[in-house]
Amino acid sequence: MPKLKPPVEPGERIQVEITGQSHTGDGVGKVEGFTVFIPLAIAGERVEARVTRVKKTYAHARLEKVLKASPNRVDAPCPVFERCGGCQVQHIAYPVQLEAKRKQVADAFARIGGLENVEVLPVLGMKEPWNYRNKAQVPFGGSRGRVRAGFYAAGSHQIVEFEHCMVQQPENDRAIQRVKERVKELGIPPYDERKHRGVLRHVMVRTGVHTGDVMVVLVTNGPKLPGRQRLVEGLREDIPGLVSLVQNIQPKRTNVVLGPENRILWGEPVIHDTIGPVRFVISPHSFFQVNPAQTEILYEQVKKHAELSGRETVIDAYCGIGTIALCLAEDAARVFGVESIPQAVEDARHNAALNGIDHASFEAGTAEEVMPRWAEEGIRPDVIVVDPPRKGCAPEFLDAAVKMNPDRLVYVSCNPATLARDAAYLKERGYVNHEVQPVDMFPQTGHVECVTVFRKRKEEGRL
Ligand SMILES: C[S@@+](CC[C@H](N)C(=O)[O-])C[C@H]1O[C@@H](n2cnc3c(N)ncnc32)[C@H](O)[C@@H]1O
């Protein structure tokens, strides 16, 4: 077949009807049947845009003028919204953001999973969809005299500075500004990623919203931290609730924020927070859900679908620091967790002890290696809960899960595309889901989280 030339070229000005919203929040339209993604455009609008990049099957364009505005367009409250890559959909009314996310999940089930009959319920959103994040990770740059700190602009490493981030807990904002002031005052050189020189690369702040604990992690390019003592004293004065001040060393030329080594500059190595009645320690490297209010809602959904009576054996796969496992433990006879990061597994064990839970055990390893072994060893869970990263579950893991013959498999997903793929895989193996409940863990962004339960197809009985 002769290759068709795309109908648009970089630099060209185009007019487009926007027909949908992509999973990253971009407006999507067609020019002579050719797909164009336009950030900041909204479904239902007619816009003028400048083509910036052309690929074989799609192009990107920059919005220049809204010719016909959608009634769903609102003024984005954040002054740096259009430049900062943190949020993508502040310009869309919140109820419409939620419906776009619901549709995104339904499309993934229909197109990727071939599962048109799975019902996608309305997204559980927030009453106040702002100031929710308990964790901020801010790159530092510029020069000794002109320190810059902010978020990267979309698709680049240009730092967009801010004083107040509208999706962060205010404690995180304040801590970042105080670090920036002290770094300036003490002349600590920020990191220059092009030359791989300088000291301060990132600052990470985590807040335990229920305990008030604050952790500040200063990520440096090497072990040196000039002005260390004065910096520690200054930040102890400046940051109310500071419990843990850590230096993390990332000597590599990489986009990975945290390096392997943590040094305690002052205070504790961890902070605490709670989910429901369960208390957790959080260390710099551990995964902890970033939207505490919505985590309670997400976990309620998991509990509802797990239907525990106190007699069940439960596996929590991809368990992080054991949050789901330990929140379910009260209603289960036995809980097993598996997680690939050894430090998180140590935290999970510590968390079990902290809460007096002695019928939960955690194993370090990949879920795809550990589950087949558990299946061989004869572990037969009634309920399996999975909460994998964006790439979803490995087939070896799902094969082992099916072999264990659980009654229910509760799937928590941060990526509708891989959830739909795995749903199709499970359906072929006799496990089906009928409904998906999306939860808005990340308001103002394109991301959506989902919970669904797979059960053995009735007519097939035992597998
Ligand atoms: C989305 S997080 C879920 C954590 C936890 N369930 C929670 O709600 O806090 C996914 C977790 O899977 C872990 N992980 C990634 N790949 C894995 C694998 N192949 N096997 C086991 N765990 C994995 C990550 O380290 C991370 O802790």
For residue 67, the model assigns a pLDDT of 98
DSSP helix, strand, coil percent of the chain (3-state; round to 5) = 25, 30, 45
Contact indicator for 190, 183 with CB cutoff of 8 Å: yes
Q: Are strands 449-456 and 435-439 parallel, antiparallel or unpaired?
A: antiparallel
Residue 85 has what pLDDT?
A: 85
Name, in order, each residue with C-beta under 8 angstroms of 76's C-beta and a sequence gap of 6 or more: 82, 87, 90, 91
What ipTM did this prediction achieve?
A: 0.99
The whole-number average pLDDT for the span 250-275 is 96
Ligand 1 closest atom vs CA 385? 6
Domain-wise residue ranges, the chain: 13-73, 111-125+291-460, 135-275
Asked if residue 276 has pLDDT above 80, the reply is: yes
The CATH code belonging to domain 111-125+291-460 is: 3.40.50.150
Q: Is 442 in the pocket of ligand 1 (CB under 6 A)?
A: no
What average pLDDT is seen over the chain? 95
The answer, yes or no, to whether any atom of ligand 1 lies below 6 A from the CB of 385, is: no
CB 239 within 8 A of CB 178: yes
**Fold topology of 135-275:** OB fold (Dihydrolipoamide Acetyltransferase, E2P) (2.40.50)
pLDDT above 80 (res 1): no
The pLDDT of residue 462 is: 45
Per the listing, tokens 């496990």 go with: 431
How many angstroms does the Cα of residue 333 sit away from the middle of ligand 1?
23
Tally the C-alpha atoms within 13 A of residue 392's C-alpha that lie toward its C-beta.
17
pLDDT of 329: 98
In Å, what is the CA distance from 197 to each residue of 51, 189, 200, 233, 251?
36, 9, 9, 26, 10
pLDDT exceeds cutoff 90 at 405? yes
Token pair 């986009």: residue: 255
Topology at the third CATH level for domain 13-73: OB fold (Dihydrolipoamide Acetyltransferase, E2P) (2.40.50)
Which residue has a Cα nearest atom 11 of ligand 1?
Answer: 318
pLDDT in tens, 70-116: 999 999 999 999 988 899 999 999 999 999 999 999 999 999 999 99
Residue 315 beta carbon below 6 angstroms from any ligand 1 atom:
no
Calculate the CA 258 to chain-centre distance. 16
324 three-state secondary structure: helix
Enter the pTM of the model: 0.93
Question: Which residue, by CA, sits nearest to atom 4 of ligand 1?
Answer: 320
User: H or E element: which one contains 159?
Assistant: strand 159-161
What number is the average pLDDT over the span 2-25?
Answer: 90
Residue 459 confidence (pLDDT) above 80? no
Task: Give the percent of the chain with pLDDT over 70.
Answer: 98
Residue 289: CB within 6 Å of ligand 1? Answer: yes
**Nearest residue CA, atom 1 of ligand 1?**
389
Contacts of 328 (CB under 8 A, 6+ apart): 302, 303, 306, 308, 314, 316, 335, 385
Q: How far is CA 383 from CA 92, 200, 284, 311, 316, in A?
A: 39, 45, 31, 11, 9
Check if the beta carbon of residue 329 is closer than 8 Å to that of residue 357: yes
Per-residue pLDDT tens digits for 295-333:
999 999 999 999 999 999 999 999 999 999 999 999 999
Share of the chain above pLDDT 90, in %: 90
Mark whether 78 is an active-site residue: no
How far apart are the CA of 322 and the centre of ligand 1, in A?
10
Does residue 168 have its Cβ closer than 6 Å to ligand 1? no
Cβ–ligand 1 distance for 366 under 6 Å, the answer: yes
Tell me, in angstroms, the distance from the centre of ligand 1 to residue 348's CA. Answer: 12
Q: What phi and psi, each to the nearest 5 degrees, are found at residue 258?
A: -95, 135
Q: Average pLDDT in the 273-296 region? A: 95
Q: Report pLDDT digits (tens) over 345-397.
A: 999 999 999 999 999 999 999 999 999 999 999 999 999 999 999 999 999 99
- pLDDT per position as a tens digit, 180-191: 999 999 999 999
User: Which of 78, 84, 319, 414 does the annotation list as catalytic?
Assistant: 414
Check pLDDT > 80 for residue 447. Answer: yes
Residue 423 CA to residue 452 CA, distance in Å, equals 10
Evaluate whether 301 touches 262 at the Cβ level (below 8 Å). Answer: no
Closest residue by Cα to residue 29 from 74, 1, 78, 68: 68
Whole-number pLDDT of residue 363 = 98
Q: Tell me, yes or no, if the two domains 13-73 and 111-125+291-460 fold the same way.
A: no
Best CA proximity match to 183, nearest among 136, 220, 137, 133: 220
Question: Which residue from 152, 158, 258, 167 is spatially nearest to 215, judged by alpha carbons?
Answer: 258
- Name residue 56's amino acid: K
Annotated binding-site ranges for S-adenosyl-L-methionine: 289, 318, 339, 387
Q: Which two tokens stand for residue 70?
A: 């959608």
